[in-house]
Structure 1
Amino acid sequence: MRDLLLQPRQRRHFILRASTGLVLGICAPLAWAQAPAAKSTGTPVILVLGDSLSAEYGLARGTGWVALLEKKLAQEKLAATVVNASVSGDTTAGGRSRLPALLAQHRPTHVVIELGGNDALRGLPLKNTEDNLAWMTEAAQKAGAKVLLVGMQVPPNYGTDYATRFAGLFPSVAQARKAAVVPFLLKGVADGPDPTRMFQADRIHPRAEAHPQMLANVWPELKKLLR
């Protein structure tokens, strides 16, 4: 989510192919525009557009939930290409600005949007976040992709009203645009009896041990779309 201190050199964009289990490319910041486009082979292409929660911030490469998704697809014998276009520190506005080029380049059949946490942490207007989520959902659908919105929640110190309205953005946008939704990516991670043990020292980014649970939250809804 929030990565205000993250240096540009720490940002990564990588493409994972389920059939091989290999990392095909790791690029420098904003190199998503230079990554090779996925070929039109009839194989599903899953584009993940997220922030640090999907970009393996503070983790060893290959241990985040998106990398685990690639392994899960192989286990389920579902041939698919996973394009992780997540950028640490990104907001819904950033994702909105990057999405058109990603859609044109990779021609995804499925788009997973995991953005919004940084909007809340930076105090951005909820209406802007909602509009951006709606715009990205519609843009992906118009490009022929099925969309899965991955929701986030904010700590109670933001106020009950704000927290409730923010959490409600994701199912609201999904329902209005007939998209799939995961209400809370960190369910079972941030709401456990001792959540701090599942987070890195900054208490913002989950440890590697938490990412299997994060995938477990996403997988059922994504699997429905793939089937």
Structure 2
Amino acid sequence: MRTLLKFRYFFALFLMLSCDDSAKKTTQNKTSETTEQQKNLLIEDGNKVILFFGDSLTAGYGIELEEAFPALTQKRIDSLNLNYTIVNSGLSGETTAGGLNRLNWVLNQKVDVFVLELGANDGLRGIPLNETSSNLQAIINLVKKKNDDTRIVLAGMQIPPNMGPEYTKEFREIFPKLAKENNIPLVPFLLENVAGNPELNLEDGIHPTAEGHQIVMENVWLVLSEVLK
């Protein structure tokens, strides 16, 4: 029961790459109604906050919310008696531009650790690489501006070679470059040992199953556990 009370979600799920603007606005409106309640509960908990800011991978598209890697990370944290509450701010279909647009609202509460997981939808849509990199840097800058003490973790992403080998290679290099330039920890590839494995992904071949999310959680925990020390 303690885990369920501590773990909170900010956004509902949408279809990846196909959610329309009206659906997003409706969900954001509904979500804003509960913001103050969620924020108050977090304060009452007296715990530090880890915010997972991402797309459908963070939101747990296609599976139960409790099976997604942020919720699994909360279970790991609770098992170690660490005083952290995870807030899941994953929004299916989200791009780096969309994430930047909603970031101010998300940062209305104090965040101690900010896990940035965005970019996959940019790559799948063929968005210019300089735009993706610029948006991610702007998100990092805004988080630091809001609270310089917030520790940021960047999740690396890779995409299938649909856009050509050059685009694919340069997309992959965005994340380690940003991590180095900003001196922040990097999860080298969020979907390591999951991507491309039919047994660990839903029928769309993009989103992990519950079993896949177990592996994703371990990929994240390798880096996050060092941050929490």
TM, length-normalised to structure 2: 0.84
User: Which residue, out of 140, 145, 161, partners 2:143?
Assistant: 140
Name the SS of the counterpart of 1:21 in structure 2: helix
Residue number in structure 1 paired with 2:187: 182
Give unmatched runs, 5+ long, in structure 1: 1-18
Q: What amino acid does structure 1 have at the position aligned with 2:113?
A: H
Partner Cα separation in structure 1 for residue 173 and residue 63 of structure 2: 29
Q: CA deviation at 1:180?
A: 1.1
Q: CA deviation at 1:32?
A: 4.1
Give unmatched runs, 5+ long, in structure 2: 13-26
Residue number in structure 1 paired with 2:88: 84
Report which stretch shifted further, 41-50 or 140-149.
Answer: 41-50
Residue number in structure 1 paired with 2:155: 150
Partner Cα separation in structure 2 for residue 79 and residue 184 of structure 1: 27
Residue number in structure 2 paired with 1:6: none
Name the SS of the counterpart of 2:175 in structure 1: helix
Q: CA deviation at 1:166?
A: 0.4
Q: CA deviation at 1:185?
A: 0.6
Query: Aligned pairs, how many?
Result: 205
CA separation of 1:25/1:219 partners in 2, compared to 1, >3 Å: closer, same or farther?
closer
Q: CA deviation at 1:39?
A: 1.7
Q: What amino acid does structure 2 have at the position aligned with 1:122?
A: R
Name the SS of the counterpart of 1:165 in structure 2: helix
CA contact 1:167–1:183 (8 Å) conserved in 2? no
Partner Cα separation in structure 2 for residue 93 and residue 33 of structure 1: 20
CA contact 2:152–2:184 (8 Å) conserved in 1? yes
Q: CA deviation at 1:61?
A: 2.6
Residue number in structure 1 paired with 2:2: 20
Residue number in structure 2 paired with 1:4: none
Partner Cα separation in structure 2 for residue 137 and residue 40 of structure 1: 28
CA contact 1:73–1:80 (8 Å) conserved in 2? yes
Q: CA deviation at 1:158?
A: 2.4
CA separation of 1:64/1:110 partners in 2, compared to 1, >3 Å: closer, same or farther?
same
- More helix as a share of residues: 2
Could you report, residue by residue, the CA deviation over 1:187-215 in whole angstroms, capped at 9, with x for unpaired residues? 01115xxx122111111111111011101
Partner Cα separation in structure 2 for residue 133 and residue 114 of structure 1: 10
Partner Cα separation in structure 1 for residue 124 and residue 97 of structure 2: 14
Residue number in structure 2 paired with 1:223: 225
Q: CA deviation at 1:42?
A: 5.8
Q: What amino acid does structure 2 have at the position aligned with 1:124?
A: I
Partner Cα separation in structure 1 for residue 172 and residue 8 of structure 2: 34
CA contact 1:150–1:182 (8 Å) conserved in 2? yes
> What does residue range 40-119 of structure 1 map to in structure 2 within 5 Å?
43-104=47-108, 106-119=109-122
1:208 aligns with 2:210: yes
CA contact 1:32–1:85 (8 Å) conserved in 2? no
Partner Cα separation in structure 1 for residue 91 and residue 144 of structure 2: 22
Partner Cα separation in structure 2 for residue 39 and residue 75 of structure 1: 21
RMSD: 1.9
Name the SS of the counterpart of 2:56 in structure 1: coil
CA separation of 1:117/1:213 partners in 2, compared to 1, >3 Å: closer, same or farther?
same
User: Could you tell me the percent identity over the aligned residues?
Assistant: 38
Q: What amino acid does structure 2 have at the position aligned with 1:117?
A: A
Partner Cα separation in structure 2 for residue 69 and residue 52 of structure 1: 16
1:33 aligns with 2:32: yes
Partner Cα separation in structure 2 for residue 224 and residue 43 of structure 1: 18
Q: What amino acid does structure 2 have at the position aligned with 1:91?
A: T
